[in-house]
């Protein structure tokens, strides 16, 4: 099977890189800055030479001498810039957006695009559909970035067999969390995937069967797991929880730590920058993976945000993925940089826990809890959908969509209704309406999931 042969080679490649990237976490500040500078110059040179769109942006930049301070001369790029210029942004001319969309619309499980690339879908905090392409190296480093901060729980580099890690996350292979787990699950790190859209009782049953030491999940499921443990229905003894993708609220952290006496660790990541941070051993807050990225905290007027103040947005530069150079790419997440070196001893920049993105859970009659991915996945699987807003109704949802072409919205309604029925919503009713525009807040943000007022 060609996929399995390619995947096996990819796992071996990732495993060869892993020890070095784990060692990097103990680097000195000077070593971190040296690696970041060298990686930045390599990225800028590759983008300027091979990307038609970037060559114009980087006209006034000399990649051979560029530093982090120099890239402020480069205008920021948005998801709109990327999607409108996708074919001229990527550095492999075989890669075209129409083919990537076609690939993503068909896959049911992890699959390679153009032999050894990975394409993923994201809506992110903006609510605008994005397609992101990773080369073989970038995809491997994405996975390493995500797991290296948990090496003691995964027993990386230890011949002792670790228990499987459980990932309660997206179930569609077009999403980064699911696709990365499928690509790299192996004897090195065995990952058992539990779709977060399953009813909570089914998730509990799976966890009781696996009994993992490390659980990766969205933060907004923690309170439900704690309640099941309190009722005696969830009998596990995890050592740590790893939260991603959504804000980790202090209350969820506290109740989880008290329930299991386990570490609850947070990370910030994005489809544009998988593994952009790693957890701090002191609990709250995360460290930026500066050896593989540059992150700038930015105010609404485009000026740098000083340490100790919360930014309105960030600009990210992904240093490890050359097939789709993202240089000063805007994400509307709020970062607050710490002024001094962290007490944990790490020389990587520390930030407070990020609370800039939140997809609310919908709660229906009989306390049926529905995760946003029940809506999110089918909507972004349809390549014509640019934006959406989901408003909860008594037995389902009213969904406004901005689409680029005619589409079988009735079929999409049935798909989402099936998801709701599977989670326990009785007689689900979903209505999708095509609109020209979805109104945003004054800050430009879009709240995509609007719960029904109880």
Confidence of residue 444 (pLDDT cuts 50, 70, 90): very low
Q: What is d(CA 45, CA 28) in angstroms, rounded to the nearest whole number?
A: 26
pLDDT in tens, 20-50: 999 999 999 999 999 999 999 999 999 999 9
Query: CA 267 to CA 287: how far, in whole Å?
Result: 8
Same domain, 70 and 198: yes
Phi first, then psi: give them for residue 317, nearest 5 degrees. Answer: -125, 115
Quote the CA–CA distance of 293 and 287 in Å, as a whole number. 12
Q: Quick one: 317 and 377 in the same domain?
A: no
Contacts of 387 (CB under 8 A, 6+ apart): 127, 128, 129, 401, 402, 438, 446
Please tell me whether residues 55 and 123 are part of one structural domain: yes
Tens digit of each residue's pLDDT (9 = 90 or more) over 343-367: 999 999 999 887 654 345 788 988 8
The structural domain count of the chain equals 2
CATH number at residue 366: 3.30.300.30
The residue segments making up the domain with residue 81 are 2-351
Same-domain check for residues 73 and 207: yes
Identify whether 172 is part of a domain. yes
pLDDT of residue 398: 96
Q: Encode 318-354: b = buried (16+ Cβ within 10 Å), e = exposed.
A: bbbbbbbbbbbbbbbbbbbbeeeebeeebbbbbbbbb
Q: Are residues 388 and 335 in the same domain?
A: no
| Max mean pLDDT range (82-91, 174-183, 213-222, 400-409) | 82-91
- Does 176 score more than 90 pLDDT? no
Task: Examine the fold and report which residue of 291, 323, 351 is the final residue of a domain before the chain moves on.
Answer: 351
Residue ending a domain, choose from 351, 371, 391: 351
Print burial letters for 231-262: b (CB count within 10 Å at least 16), e (below 16).
eeebebebebbbbbbbbbbeebbebbeebbeb
Residue 357 falls inside a structural domain: no
Place of tokens 């952290």: 253
Answer whether residue 185 is part of any domain. Answer: yes
The residues facing 167 across adjacent strands are 193, 216
pLDDT interval class at 110 (50, 70, 90): very high
* 164 and 191 Cβ atoms separated by less than 8 Å: yes
């Amino acid at each position: 099977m060609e996929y399995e042969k390619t995947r096996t080679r990819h796992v071996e490649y990732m495993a060869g890189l892993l020890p070095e990237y784990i060692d990097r976490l103990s680097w000195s500040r000077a070593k971190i800055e040296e690696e970041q500078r060298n990686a930045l110059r390599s990225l800028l040179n590759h983008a300027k030479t091979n990307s038609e769109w970037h060559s114009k942006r980087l006209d006034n930049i000399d990649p051979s001498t560029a530093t982090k301070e120099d890239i402020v001369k480069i205008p920021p790029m948005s998801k709109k810039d990327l999607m409108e210029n996708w074919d001229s942004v990527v550095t492999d001319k075989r890669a075209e957006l129409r083919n990537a969309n076609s690939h993503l619309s068909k896959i049911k499980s992890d699959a390679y695009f153009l032999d050894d690339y990975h394409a993923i879908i994201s809506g992110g905090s903006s609510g605008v559909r994005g397609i992101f392409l990773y080369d073989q190296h970038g995809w491997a480093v994405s996975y390493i970035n995500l797991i290296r901060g948990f090496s003691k729980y995964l027993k990386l580099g230890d011949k002792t067999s670790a228990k499987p890690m459980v990932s309660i996350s997206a179930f569609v292979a077009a999403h980064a969390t699911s696709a990365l787990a499928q690509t790299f699950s192996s004897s090195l790190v065995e990952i058992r995937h539990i779709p977060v859209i399953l009813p909570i009782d089914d998730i509990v049953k799976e966890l009781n069967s696996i009994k993992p030491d490390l659980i990766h999940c969205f933060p907004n499921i923690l309170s439900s797991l704690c309640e099941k443990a309190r009722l005696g229905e969830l009998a596990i003894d995890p050592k740590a929880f790893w939260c991603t993708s959504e804000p980790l609220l202090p209350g969820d952290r506290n109740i989880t730590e008290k329930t299991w006496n386990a570490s609850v660790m947070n990370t910030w990541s994005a489809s544009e920058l998988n593994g952009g941070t790693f957890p701090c051993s002191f609990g709250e807050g995360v460290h930026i993976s500066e050896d593989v990225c540059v992150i700038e905290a930015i105010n609404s007027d485009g000026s740098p945000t000083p340490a100790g103040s919360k930014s309105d947005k960030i600009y990210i530069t992904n240093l490890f993925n050359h097939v789709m150079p993202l240089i000063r790419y805007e994400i509307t997440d709020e970062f607050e940089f710490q002024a001094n070196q962290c007490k944990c001893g790490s020389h990587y920049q520390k930030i407070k826990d990020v609370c800039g993105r939140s997809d609310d859970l919908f709660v229906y009659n009989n306390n049926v809890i529905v995760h946003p991915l029940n809506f999110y996945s089918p909507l972004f699987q349809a390549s014509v959908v640019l934006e959406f807003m989901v408003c909860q109704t008594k037995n389902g949802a009213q969904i406004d969509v901005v689409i680029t072409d005619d589409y079988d919205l009735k079929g999409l309604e049935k798909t989402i209704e099936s998801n709701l029925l599977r989670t326990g919503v009785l007689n689900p009713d979903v209505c999708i309406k095509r609109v020209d525009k979805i109104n945003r807040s004054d800050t430009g943000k879009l709240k995509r999931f609007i719960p029904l007022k109880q």
